[in-house]
């Protein structure tokens, strides 16, 4: 038998490749974590936005194996992007991730449906081990699975484990080290479904099995292998062109055949000891969590807790990080010799790093919650109760988590959109989330609102300032929903939007999984988005701290002249120098050069400069205003406001910051994409520069139009 | 088309089942949807029970071969079932 040749003797190989595949909710990730621990990293599969988790398994004999966690899939029909990745790796022996061994994880408490994928892998004739996970659940339900019999019938090794309790992990590790034969029998006879077609393909190309030929017939255009081997593709196309092929019918027949065998098999291998099998706990909990009143009440409470945590709880560690970086930059500034390098390191690089690390607490907290929600099975219920409402706007039931988290910070919020499996719904969620008013806008809102609205003005019971602040949050939310609606019409779907998914039984969360999720997300953010953020910070630093020619030197010289000093103290002189330097810097030149464009919005060049510098982060607006108006202490909002209030528009001779300018600026900050970190993470999450660019352009256009409208109406 | 001819009972759409009503899957009216549902274990001859209806009336969740499967009404309307009395 030719298949005997493919038996692997692993001891002869330096490092074997293992692929982990299974249905969603089969406990695949838990097993992956149990096998690798912290020896894992996240990369991505080439050309797609699907994250590739890989890691190393260490064996007791000192050898190691490389393991890839393939995306969860119910079958090897490539319909979604996730499924395409799994399909591509397993169906293309030329793929660089093509495994030596495939571990198929099946939820033993839900064996029938899980055996479907198993049966396809068997028919592909890939050396495989079947892992029956959640054996503890099976026992608890009073069932017994005859693994020996199952193994005999399937022709592959079967190992029962419970990944949560780490039961059976060592047995699995031992099994990986043993020679793994390719599956011995065909699960179903594919030739019965398409006899001539399979023969035809096999006559022109060498394949491992009938099912491989069958997959080629059905997915010829989806296999990247044939992009590189065009001659073979043409050969197959020529061989098949006399046939009329209804791929869908072929696959439907295949599915029915598989389930026929599966039903017989399950009958033979499972014995039910208790008469009724019901998940009473899940049922009872669902009657509350998907209830038409309690369901939403609980969900709102959960959202409230998440929001409180990332908004307020994260503030403490963020303060520590800030303090730490202030002391680091002070020490560095004093240690290194003064000069350009010192300036670059302290104000460019360290400031940039601080701007990256500052996000870690929010990311960690949000993903702790998300991991718990996913792990317990609650996230699926959130989708279930929110789907109808959000579907109308092109969003997914799960979009609500990113949207609400966006009120704290768009960066972790956009990362959390990863739980949305549909490409179009996920892109829309990512694109509109930054319209939610994030916490970085709050200082800008506060400054501007109190600048143009007198503090004690009231409408009956309500304080005007408070109402406007609330209105801004509301406007952000409405804009996000409407933008989603527009994108729903514009964007073409890459895959059909299904809501066909499992509602898994409720489980207690696993803290190990939660910890590893946090670790993974923080790591991805720091490395992938962090480098972009630091690079842009350095550019922004350069723009605002350098000027053409020797303009800076001239300013400094000017203030050494006693007559300019008048009766100012040192701090006041410092502030004045800072203001003048910023004005002549590259950022200042840019700010002035955009003045004609922003004049119709009521903005002068000083605001122009702030728009440019606050691209680093929106709250920088306040700091830049402080510098421009030469207020030494940027924490002193009161004195910034005083100076701004006294500013006179040279053309009108009236105060610059009128109500019209105030509202125009407020709306601009509500809509504009003034955040490089968000753009960096959008790039990381979509893996395509197109999306952050479109996001930047559409949000800027929206901001410009809204400000233009409001200023022209109110002035 | 995969059809299990069943005598007596009139066929109806899966989306028309009442809460707690049981039925046997008969056939599909949409090929793409059929494939997706088949791989999830919704094969002709399999018994289903309408287990949940989302608070806003859509989606629904059915109990099939030992697990809960949620799907939109629009998707469920492509499945023809034969109700059990």
Establish if B58 touches chain A: CB-CB under 8 angstroms.
yes
Any alpha helices (H) in A141-229, and if so which ranges? 147-154, 169-177, 195-204, 210-219, 225-228
Residue A364 banded pLDDT, cuts 50, 70, 90:
very high
CA atoms within 13 A on the CB side of A231: 0
pLDDT at A115 over 80: yes
Helix (H, G, I), strand (E, B) or coil at A170: helix
Contact A113 B65 (CB under 8 A): yes
Please give the CATH topology (third level) of the domain spanning B16-83: SH3 type barrels. (2.30.30)
pLDDT at A563 over 70: no
What does the alpha-carbon distance between residue A663 and residue A640 come to, in Å, rounded to a whole number?
A: 18
Is the separation of the CB atoms in A611 and A587 below 8 Å? Answer: no
pLDDT 10s digits, A42-71:
777 776 767 788 999 999 888 899 999 998
Residue A566 banded pLDDT, cuts 50, 70, 90:
low
Place of tokens 């009161």: A638
Tokens of B64: 């099939």
Beta bridge partners of A115: none
Establish if B73 touches chain A: CB-CB under 8 angstroms.
no
Percent of residues, chain A, with pLDDT higher than 90: 44
What does the alpha-carbon distance between residue A641 and residue A451 come to, in Å, rounded to a whole number?
A: 6
Beta bridge partners of A65: A16, A57
Q: For an interface test with B, give the residue of A117, A290, A499 to mutate (most B CBs within 10 A).
A: A499
Tell me what the mean pLDDT of segment A146-175 comes to: 93
Q: Give the CA-trace dihedral at B72, B78, B80, B81, to 10 degrees.
A: -10
- Nearest Cα to A304, choosing from A396, A381, A405? A405
Tell me what the mean pLDDT of segment A276-281 comes to: 65
Lowest-confidence segment of A65-69, A140-144, A570-574 by average pLDDT:
A570-574
Domain boundaries, chain A: 2-190, 294-512, 513-714
Q: Which residues of A touch B61 (CB under 8 A)?
A: 384, 503
pLDDT at A278: 56
pLDDT at A169 over 90: yes
pLDDT at A276: 54
Tell me the CATH number for domain A2-190.
Answer: 3.40.50.300
Tell me what the mean pLDDT of segment A499-516 comes to: 90
- Nearest Cα to A210, choosing from A124, A325, A100? A124
Is the separation of the CB atoms in A254 and A193 below 8 Å? Answer: yes
pLDDT at B8: 56
pLDDT at A206: 84
pLDDT at A26: 92
- Nearest Cα to B1, choosing from A188, A243, A189, A248? A248
Q: For an interface test with B, give the residue of A255, A425, A496 to mutate (most B CBs within 10 A).
A: A255
- CA B5 to chain A, closest CA, distance in angstroms equals 16
What does the alpha-carbon distance between residue A614 and residue A602 come to, in Å, rounded to a whole number?
A: 18
pLDDT at A564 over 80: no
Helix (H, G, I), strand (E, B) or coil at A172: helix
The b-or-e profile of B7-32 (16+ CB within 10 A means b, else e) is: eeeeebebbebeeeeebbbbbbeeee
Tell me what the mean pLDDT of segment A63-89 comes to: 87
pLDDT at A8: 45
Establish if B67 touches chain A: CB-CB under 8 angstroms.
yes
What does the alpha-carbon distance between residue A459 and residue A341 come to, in Å, rounded to a whole number?
A: 55
pLDDT at A642: 82
Any idea what the Cα angle at residue A370 is, between residues B68 and A523, rounded to 5°?
130
Contact A290 B52 (CB under 8 A): yes
pLDDT 10s digits, A417-473:
987 878 899 999 999 999 999 888 988 998 898 888 877 777 777 778 888 888 999
pLDDT at A585 over 60: yes
User: In terms of DSSP bridges, do strands A157-160 and A128-133 run parallel, antiparallel, or are they unpaired?
Assistant: parallel
Question: Among partner residues B38, B54, B59, which is closest to A255 by beta-carbon distance?
Answer: B38
Contact B40 A113 (CB under 8 A): yes
pLDDT at A607: 92
Which chain A residue has its CA at the smallest distance from B72's CA?
A: A499
Establish if A249 touches chain B: CB-CB under 8 angstroms.
yes
pLDDT at A14 over 70: no
Place of tokens 């256009």: A701
Percent of residues, chain A, with pLDDT higher than 70: 94
Highest mean pLDDT among A5-14, A135-144, B17-26: B17-26
Contact B66 A255 (CB under 8 A): no
Q: Which residues of A touch B25 (CB under 8 A)?
A: none
C-alpha dist (Å) from residue A644 to A291, A592, A630, A712: 53, 18, 11, 21
Task: Residue A549: count other Cβ atoms within 10 Å of its Cβ.
Answer: 8
pLDDT at A154 over 70: yes
Q: Would you give the distance in Å from CA A271 to the centre of its chain?
A: 43
Q: What is the pLDDT of chain A when averaged over all its residues? A: 87
Q: Which residues of B touch A286 (CB under 8 A)?
A: 52
Residues with Cβ < 8 Å from A699, sequence gap 6 or more?
A434, A435, A671, A672, A673
Task: Residue A116: count other Cβ atoms within 10 Å of its Cβ.
Answer: 21
Establish if B35 touches chain A: CB-CB under 8 angstroms.
yes
Establish if B43 touches chain A: CB-CB under 8 angstroms.
yes
Q: For an interface test with B, give the residue of A74, A384, A505 to mutate (most B CBs within 10 A).
A: A384
Lowest-confidence segment of A225-239, A380-394, B33-47 by average pLDDT:
A225-239
pLDDT at A152 over 70: yes
Which chain A residue has its CA at the smallest distance from B64's CA?
A: A113
Domain boundaries, chain B: 16-83
pLDDT at A78: 83
Strand order in the sheet with B12-13: A501-503, B67-71, B60-64, B47-53, B22-28, B79-83, B12-13
In this prediction, does ipTM exceed 0.85?
Answer: yes
Residue A643 banded pLDDT, cuts 50, 70, 90:
confident
pLDDT at A415 over 60: yes
- Nearest Cα to B64, choosing from A272, A22, A263? A263
pLDDT at A9: 43
Residue A6 banded pLDDT, cuts 50, 70, 90:
very low
Place of tokens 């629009």: B74
- CA B19 to chain A, closest CA, distance in angstroms equals 13
pTM check: above 0.90: no
pLDDT at B75: 94
Establish if B4 touches chain A: CB-CB under 8 angstroms.
no
Contact B55 A252 (CB under 8 A): no
Tokens of A431: 């694109």
Q: Taking chain B, what is the end-to-end CA distance rounded to the nearest angstrom?
A: 26
The angle that helices A247-269 and A111-124 make with each other, rounded to 10 degrees, is: 120
pLDDT at A495 over 90: no
Q: Which residues of A touch B69 (CB under 8 A)?
A: 500-503
Establish if B77 touches chain A: CB-CB under 8 angstroms.
no
Which chain B residue has its CA at the smallest distance from A253's CA?
A: B2
Contact A252 B35 (CB under 8 A): yes
Tell me what the mean pLDDT of segment A680-705 comes to: 95
- CA B53 to chain A, closest CA, distance in angstroms equals 9
Tell me what the mean pLDDT of segment A122-147 comes to: 92
Establish if B20 touches chain A: CB-CB under 8 angstroms.
no
Q: Which residues of A touch B56 (CB under 8 A)?
A: 292, 385, 388-389
What does the alpha-carbon distance between residue A23 and residue A105 come to, in Å, rounded to a whole number?
A: 7
Question: Among partner residues A79, A256, A505, which is closest to B38 by beta-carbon distance?
Answer: A256
Is the separation of the CB atoms in A250 and A193 below 8 Å? Answer: yes
Helix (H, G, I), strand (E, B) or coil at A568: coil
Establish if A267 touches chain B: CB-CB under 8 angstroms.
no
Q: Which residues of B touch A296 (CB under 8 A)?
A: 55
Is the separation of the CB atoms in A488 and A393 below 8 Å? Answer: yes
Helix (H, G, I), strand (E, B) or coil at B53: strand
Any alpha helices (H) in B11-71, and if so which ranges? 31-39
Residue A565 banded pLDDT, cuts 50, 70, 90:
low
pLDDT at A346 over 80: yes
- CA B78 to chain A, closest CA, distance in angstroms equals 13
Contact B56 A385 (CB under 8 A): yes
Residues with Cβ < 8 Å from A537, sequence gap 6 or more?
A348, A349, A351, A352, A355, A616, A676
What's the length of chain B?
A: 85
pLDDT at A574: 81
Establish if A39 touches chain B: CB-CB under 8 angstroms.
no
Establish if B52 touches chain A: CB-CB under 8 angstroms.
yes
Residue A593 banded pLDDT, cuts 50, 70, 90:
very high
Task: Residue A15: count other Cβ atoms within 10 Å of its Cβ.
Answer: 11
DSSP assignment, residue A593?
Answer: H
Beta bridge partners of A17: A66
pLDDT at A533 over 50: yes
pLDDT 10s digits, B33-68:
999 999 999 999 999 999 999 999 999 999 998 899
Q: Would you give the distance in Å from CA B44 to the centre of its chain?
A: 10
Tell me what the mean pLDDT of segment A7-31 comes to: 77
pLDDT at A665 over 90: yes
pLDDT at A338: 86
């Amino acid at each position: 038998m030719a298949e005997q040749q493919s038996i692997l003797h692993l001891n002869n190989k330096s490092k074997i490749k293992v692929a982990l595949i299974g249905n969603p909710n089969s406990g695949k990730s838990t097993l992956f974590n149990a096998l690798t621990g912290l020896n894992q990293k996240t990369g991505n599969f080439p050309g797609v936005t699907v994250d590739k988790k890989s890691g190393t398994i260490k064996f007791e004999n000192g050898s190691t194996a490389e393991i890839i966690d393939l995306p969860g899939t119910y079958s090897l029909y490539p319909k979604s992007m996730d499924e395409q990745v799994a399909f591509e790796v397993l169906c293309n022996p030329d793929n660089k991730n093509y495994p030596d061994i495939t571990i198929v994880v099946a939820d033993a408490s839900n064996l029938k449906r899980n055996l479907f994928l198993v049966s396809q892998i068997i028919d592909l004739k890939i050396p495989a081990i079947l892992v029956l996970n959640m054996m503890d659940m099976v026992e608890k339900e009073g069932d017994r699975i005859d693994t020996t019999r199952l193994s005999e019938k399937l022709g592959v090794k079967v190992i029962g484990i419970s990944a949560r309790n780490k039961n059976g992990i060592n047995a699995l590790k031992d099994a990986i080290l043993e020679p793994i034969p390719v599956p011995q029998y065909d699960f179903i006879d594919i030739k019965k479904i398409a006899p001539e077609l399979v023969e035809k393909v096999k006559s022109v190309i060498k394949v491992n099995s009938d099912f491989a030929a069958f997959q080629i017939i059905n997915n010829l255009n989806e296999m990247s292998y044939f992009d590189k081997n065009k001659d073979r593709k043409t050969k197959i196309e020529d061989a098949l062109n006399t046939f009329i092929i209804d791929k869908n019918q072929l696959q439907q027949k295949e599915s029915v055949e598989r389930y026929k065998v599966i039903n017989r098999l399950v009958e033979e291998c499972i014995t039910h000891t208790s008469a009724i099998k019901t998940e009473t706990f899940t049922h009872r909990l669902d009657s509350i969590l998907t209830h038409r009143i309690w369901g939403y009440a609980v969900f709102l409470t959960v959202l409230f807790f998440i929001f409180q945590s990332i908004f307020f709880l994260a503030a403490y560690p963020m303060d520590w990080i800030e303090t730490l970086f202030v002391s680091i930059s002070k020490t560095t500034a004093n240690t290194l010799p003064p000069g350009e390098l010192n300036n670059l390191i302290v104000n460019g690089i360290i400031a940039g790093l601080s701007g990256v690390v500052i996000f870690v607490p929010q990311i960690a907290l949000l993903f702790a919650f998300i991991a718990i929600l996913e792990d317990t099975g609650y996230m699926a219920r959130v989708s279930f109760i929110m789907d109808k409402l959000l579907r109308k706007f092109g969003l997914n039931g799960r979009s609500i988590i990113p949207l609400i988290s966006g009120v704290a910070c768009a960066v972790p919020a956009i990362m959390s959109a990863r739980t949305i499996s549909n490409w179009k719904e996920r892109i829309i969620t990512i694109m509109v989330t930054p319209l939610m008013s994030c916490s970085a806008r709050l200082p800008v809102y506060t400054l501007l609102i109190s600048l143009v609205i007198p503090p004690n003005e009231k409408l009956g019971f309500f304080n005007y300032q408070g109402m406007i602040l609330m209105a801004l949050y509301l406007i952000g939310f409405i804009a996000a929903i409407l933008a989603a609606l527009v994108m729903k019409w514009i964007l073409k779907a890459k895959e059909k939007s299904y809501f066909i998914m499992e509602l898994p039984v409720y489980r207690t969360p696993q803290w190990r999984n939660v910890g590893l999720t946090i670790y993974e997300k923080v790591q991805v953010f720091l490395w992938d988005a962090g480098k972009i953020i630091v690079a842009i910070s350095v550019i922004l630093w350069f723009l605002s701290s350098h000027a053409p020619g020797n303009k800076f030197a001239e300013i400094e010289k000017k203030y050494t002249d006693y007559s300019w000093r008048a009766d100012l103290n040192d701090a006041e002189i410092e502030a004045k120098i800072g203001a003048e330097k910023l004005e002549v810097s590259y950022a200042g030149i840019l700010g002035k050069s955009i003045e004609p464009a922003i004049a119709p919005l009521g903005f002068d060049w000083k605001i122009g400069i702030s728009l440019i510098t606050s691209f680093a982060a929106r709250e920088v607006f306040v700091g830049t205003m402080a510098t421009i108006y030469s207020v030494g202490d940027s924490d002193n909002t009161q004195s910034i406001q005083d100076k701004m209030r006294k500013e006179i528009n040279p053309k009108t001779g009236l105060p610059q910051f009128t109500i019209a300018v105030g509202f125009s600026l407020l709306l601009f900050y509500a809509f504009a994409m003034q955040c490089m970190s968000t753009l960096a993470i959008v790039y990381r999450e979509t893996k395509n520069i197109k999306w952050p660019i479109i996001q930047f352009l559409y949000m800027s256009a929206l901001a410009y139009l809204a400000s233009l409208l409001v200023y022209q109406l109110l002035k | 088309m995969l059809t299990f001819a069943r005598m007596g009972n009139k066929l109806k759409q899966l989306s028309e089942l009442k809460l707690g009503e049981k039925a046997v899957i008969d056939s599909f009216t949409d090929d793409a949807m059929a494939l997706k549902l088949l791989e999830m274990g919704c094969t002709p001859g399999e018994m289903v029970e309408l287990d949940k209806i989302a608070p806003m009336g859509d989606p629904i969740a059915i109990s099939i071969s030992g697990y809960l499967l949620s799907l939109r009404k629009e998707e469920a309307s492509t499945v023809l079932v034969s109700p059990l009395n």
